[in-house]
Structure 1
């Protein structure tokens, strides 16, 4: 049985409060009523509601101050607040309310459908925020589980984020400060660091930051003291590192691909030549109410930070898809997530929506190379032209395009590690890929042919993710 969303309603006017409470209960909400702002704060702290509706003008503690106090507590700061006013509010008053943490204003009298729809919209947004916070917490747990001391430093050498092992080495207050020992090691070019009676190897990975800004650094300290320098222990440490890398990389990929008689799928991921450095290349297949979303993505840079961001983007996109958002809106929300939070790395992504009962495919690209379409009755070609704006650009908008995916046709989605070569123009690289797609039937043979032709037998310079699809002829 689904519980009714709980609403805290605060209004000193008994008649007005009765009218609003009645509308809310008829709309399916559980309502707790209080008559003043102070009681609203107490009730919220005692039993946090799903949403608070506060009248602006109340004796003693008005709606503004009640909102401010509710938002100032950790247990209630995430509660959406809807402000009600019996009269039109001037701009200054609206600004004051928003600055105290209010999410939306409505002027009374308000129609019941408008009130209910507004509240449901706020509750959906809160649910989505909760999902994203849980995803961030899961990735923080993964970050802390790594035995090496890992930290992200900004361009000035200040620690931005650190895992549990790094805190244990340098102290709990290390975030927001510079670590002198790291400054000395970086300036001298030393790859080993003496800390007390322990010796650590030092690895620094540069991660591109905002355009024009100094790159961030992912610093990894691994304990290599004499007790661990025997050949057997070094081999064991190497094996542990491989396990961590594989675990992090595999967590970016689906455990299985959906099975559908109308669509054959095949996917592959090949790590870069530096196989201990986790990459940000990923793919996903998301089942929706009317078909499938095929997704391919690539976060700039390598290392734990890139893998963590790729994982959060993948998880967030799944939430948006299951919430019913469209392709363009989902990509826009991901861009807002990147530009509005601590996710600072640029990323590319391409999403295709395949319907179960139509040949048209909808596609939105955020700076990602276009997929290759292999028609059953014609030569291969790029499915669409253009590639949109990468994730991480403030205010970017995204356009949804369509193309036909008929029975027997195949699709190739890939990351840039498959085609990019030093000194080669991207158009020439894409043409090499299109040419390589000719004259090979099936999906697994096509995958093997593409890797043999474009990658060879060695690990590539960059990670490669590949997602192939074929519309079955029934």
Structure 2
């Protein structure tokens, strides 16, 4: 149905009758009432007209030379493109009650018999149009609300500012059936401009940025008419807090002609502003957690020419909370105690326990305890003071460069990956995790020949939901090189195996050179 007819007033009517006199009379009455009339003399002409043009009503003679009006009605109602068009049947020959029943049963919206009074004909036409318009309007609004719900869901599901801008632009274009542009500012201050369904000239991003910076809409939603927008679009801007930059959505003025259009645009902008606020908050929390996490890790590693080292820490990509992953290197009179560990969980409690474990580890190491004894003492501390939230995995390497050995003690952690001229293999060192008070074995002494690389990592690098841990460990083993620069190696491993992980990743590499 065309927009004018949907809102009421004159309609486009197809009159189908093979008798010229009858057709003339009906068309005259309809034209006097303001309707636009198209004439057809056969069923074939009518069906061709319906296929190529848009009509709001069909006035159909039952007795046509090439096809029954009943069959034509069924064809109209069976076609999804025309099924909603009301059909008013008119007949001078099929006038018995059963004829009317047949016509109405096969799809007609009204059935009149000739001779018919002009008032009766026009009243039936108006009644059919009124019902059709109400139904079409209801379906139109329902479809718009469905698209609005879909757009709002996509906006709320966005996990980045760019995807949020894309969802807002696509949603506005879909809901209003028009070209749309969404403008967002991310926490770094960069302006993201995304267009959807765009056929008009794209505004320069710098112009958009300057225009957005000049706005001060306050808190809430404001619609700005085309005359006030540099590229002559209707814009809606919104924000939830004064300290946040506003978000903007612009569309063609032709798409915003009613209050309903403006309200839909306001709702989209409000949803986008709320979603942007969530992303801003998440970014702030993630930055704070990352800063706190890094403050609990060593700022630098010891510079030992015979044993160069490099380390990485990567927070979980989908978690704003602080984790319990850590690493440490402690110099001990010619030897080095290298530790990597993971306190279970993501919370302030996990970070607190991690800090305690790291400081306790350092204290026991300075006292001169063996790696296995250090683990026993840390285990006792966790069992006593953190019986419910202190489960921790840890691996210790006591490296003796003069002897060319490393004593390895493991407590439920991913074992060290040793890479030498024979290839890469995991050290066979195992033991129960910390915090449960179980007996644990002594450290295993392993050779550390010249040129050997050792990789220590937390399970975030090798663990993936739905995939066996052994499979992840094998992928890591196959990816490690013994000749690659360690910084390059660390970055490559994180790029290949560490993307999109739900857990933090701590990674430490060392290589004996002399």
Determine which structure has the larger helix proportion and give its number: 2
TM-score (norm 2): 0.45
TM-score (norm 1): 0.49
Structure exhibiting the larger radius of gyration computed from Cα positions = 2
